[in-house]
Amino acid sequence: MLWTIFAALTGLAVFSVLWPLARAPGVRSRDETEGAFYQAQIAEIDRDAKQGLVTADDAEGAKAEAARRFIAATEQAGEKQVASLAKSGRVAKIASLAAVLFVPAFALGLYSLTGAPDLPDQPLSARLQNPPNSGPDHEALMAAIEKIEAHLAEHPDDGRAYEVVAPVYLRMGRAYDSARAYSEALRLLGETPARLALYGEALVYAANGAVTSEAQKAFEAAVAEKPELAKAQFFLGLAAEQNGDVPRAREIWDRLIAGSPPDAPWVEALRQRSAALARSSEPSQAGESGAGGRAAPTGPAAQPEMAARIQAMPEAERSGVIRGMVDKLASRLARNGQDVEGWLRLVRAYSVLNETAKAREAVLDAKRNLTADPGAVGRIDALARELGIEG
């Protein structure tokens, strides 16, 4: 359809150029001028003859001379006019050919350089999904949001308006406003798996990446109705990871990977994250032995068994073992600071030991090392708030 419009406009432009060239020149014929002059001479000669100013023979001779001059003048003018017309015809043909070839070629060439014919159209809803950060488009977007907000102030029961503005808020960094708008949309339009998942996502962003209990409930409700909903499954896996249930997180994400198309954008990222969780859950010191030379257990049973052994130790020995484990974890994170689970354990450990200053320092170190992962930083911040050591 678009190219049909382009072709019609190009044809109109070419026609506007060819129309004046195709018309005959608007030049008055010289024959008409010479004829009028000849008639005037004959009339003057007749008047002179009637008044007796010239004889009849002289009048006839004058008329004959006027006729001779008229014939000669018209023949000469005709030759010049024919030459002129021929020349103008050649010019018109050249101009017409140039218009037919040059105008479309120039228009298409210019559009190929400055246009973007392969881009899809962008209606208002699509533009709202990707708001610009500055410039006239940003100003127009802000004006549109202000109109929607004014509309909602007058019509607070318009669920569709809340649903339209909620994702815009989220992409502008106004996560709290987005969560509130999704909440209103759910209240007014009813619950659907998609709305529940979007509401939960907004809550996660509002909590700086932490999956809150309310967000988890929204994701669980969404998956209960639509188990294949990838967004909800991802955040449920993230909730399990944040709660320390690494096997559950890997189970959810591995199931999501298996059920997703191979070219889905989240598959590779999830595969890498699941592998990272698998590495982080392995013992940090392979071959480390327990009491009596017995190899320390590995896998899910390792932590409960180790905790039971530590609990059975005398108080002084137990404190020394715990301190050694914390120091060893801190040393490992100093060498490799990309382990978010390790940082979470270290911050909790310092807090349990009532070493608040070290816990705050660990929070800062963790955020410096994980700055490229906003989700991990959000988890660190959430734990700091939970323990009352933020700032």
Range 80-93 average pLDDT? 57
pLDDT of residue 116: 54
Higher per-residue pLDDT: 151 or 25: 151
136-249 domain in CATH 2.40.50.140? no
pLDDT level of residue 128 (50, 70, 90 thresholds):
very low
C-beta atoms surrounding 326 within 10 Å = 19
Higher per-residue pLDDT: 50 or 2: 50
Q: Could you tell me the fold of the domain covering 312-387? A: 1.25.40
Higher per-residue pLDDT: 137 or 279: 279
Asked if residues 359 and 387 have their Cβ atoms less than 8 Å apart, the reply is yes
* Predicted structure pTM score: 0.44
Of 37-51, 80-94, 236-250, 366-380, the least confident: 80-94
Asked if residues 29 and 1 have their Cβ atoms less than 8 Å apart, the reply is no
Alpha-carbon distance 341 to 194, whole Å?
30
Q: In the numeric block, which tokens belong to residue 192?
A: 């659907």
Domain 136-249 shares a fold with domain 312-387: yes
What are the sequence ranges of the domains in the chain? 2-112, 136-249, 312-387
N-terminal to C-terminal alpha carbon distance within the chain: 59
pLDDT of residue 142: 83
Does the pLDDT value for residue 302 go beyond 60?
no
What residue type is 300 in one-letter code? Answer: P
Higher per-residue pLDDT: 289 or 166: 166
User: What SS3 class is residue 295?
Assistant: strand
Does the pLDDT value for residue 358 go beyond 60?
yes
pLDDT level of residue 151 (50, 70, 90 thresholds):
very high
Give the residue ranges of DSSP H helices in the chain: 2-22, 30-50, 56-114, 124-129, 135-154, 159-171, 175-189, 193-206, 213-225, 230-242, 246-258, 267-280, 302-311, 315-335, 340-352, 356-369, 374-387
Alpha-carbon distance 357 to 337, whole Å?
19
Write out pLDDT tens, residues 205-251: 888 788 888 999 999 999 999 998 999 999 999 898 888 888 898 89
pLDDT of residue 290: 42
- Percent of the chain beyond pLDDT 90? 19
Asked if residues 137 and 152 have their Cβ atoms less than 8 Å apart, the reply is no
pLDDT of residue 301: 38
Range 56-68 average pLDDT? 69
> DSSP for 313-343?
S-HHHHHHHHHHHHHHHHHHHHH-TT-HHHH
Does the pLDDT value for residue 294 go beyond 50?
no
Does the pLDDT value for residue 1 go beyond 60?
no
pLDDT of residue 184: 95
C-beta atoms surrounding 15 within 10 Å = 11
pLDDT of residue 284: 44
Q: How many angstroms separate the Cα of 129 from the Cα of each of 125, 143, 181, 217, 350?
A: 6, 15, 15, 26, 43
Tell me the average pLDDT of the chain.
74
Of 12-26, 155-169, 360-374, the least confident: 12-26
Residue pointed to by tokens 């708001």:
131
pLDDT of residue 103: 61
Alpha-carbon distance 358 to 364, whole Å?
10
Asked if residues 89 and 82 have their Cβ atoms less than 8 Å apart, the reply is no
Q: How many angstroms separate the Cα of 294 from the Cα of each of 22, 287, 288, 291, 306?
A: 104, 10, 9, 6, 12
Alpha-carbon distance 197 to 232, whole Å?
5
Alpha-carbon distance 146 to 183, whole Å?
20
- Phi first, then psi: give them for residue 88, nearest 5 degrees: -65, -30
pLDDT level of residue 136 (50, 70, 90 thresholds):
low
pLDDT of residue 345: 84
- Phi first, then psi: give them for residue 295, nearest 5 degrees: -60, 135
Does the pLDDT value for residue 296 go beyond 70?
no
Does the pLDDT value for residue 59 go beyond 50?
yes
- Percent of the chain beyond pLDDT 70? 58
